[in-house]
Amino acid sequence: MKKKLDNADNTVLLQVITEQQQTIQKLHQQLEQLQHRLDKMLHLLYGTKSEKKSKFKPEEPAVHSGTPSSKEPKSTPSNSNGRRQLPIDLRRERLEYDLPEEQRSCKCCPLIMQRMGKVLTEQLEFKPGELYVIEHVRIKYSCQDAKAILLQLPYHHNQLIKA
């Protein structure tokens, strides 16, 4: 029942074995590379905050899900207090709050205070079917002689934003 293998069969078998060993070696290298990339990504995701600062740059291009990735436009710039500005395409209603003429006189001199600037506050309002912005503008006044005096109307209770 046992057949003797001739030299030709032995060489063919040796070639098949060496090809399989090379394939196994390549797959093992590929597995090590993928494991290294996975470790880096997990470290980036779950590492401490100071370690997360380094950006992950993959050596190979990432596999796309079939849809072309387009860069999303930047969001609206934020104010210094962290709130986003309201969209500029919304309809705006401007309400100006000005001091009456009798309150514009300076207390230290007989001069009438001059307009110095304004404070703009935006409030988002909703009517069924539309969003719009109310711009509250409070005018500021200052005396030319006594630069330290500044007058403006206080916020009205309707101007306060409800949380």
Boundaries of every domain in the chain: 7-52, 91-152
Give yes or no for residue 146 having a pLDDT over 90: no
Over residues 54-69, the pLDDT tens digits come to 555 555 544 444 444 4
pLDDT value of position 72: 44
pTM: 0.42
Give the dihedral sign, CA 39/40/45/46: positive
The Cα–Cα gap between 69 and 60 comes to 17
CB atoms within 10 A of CB 38: 10
Over residues 102-112, the pLDDT tens digits come to 777 777 777 77
Over residues 147-160, the pLDDT tens digits come to 656 666 666 555 44
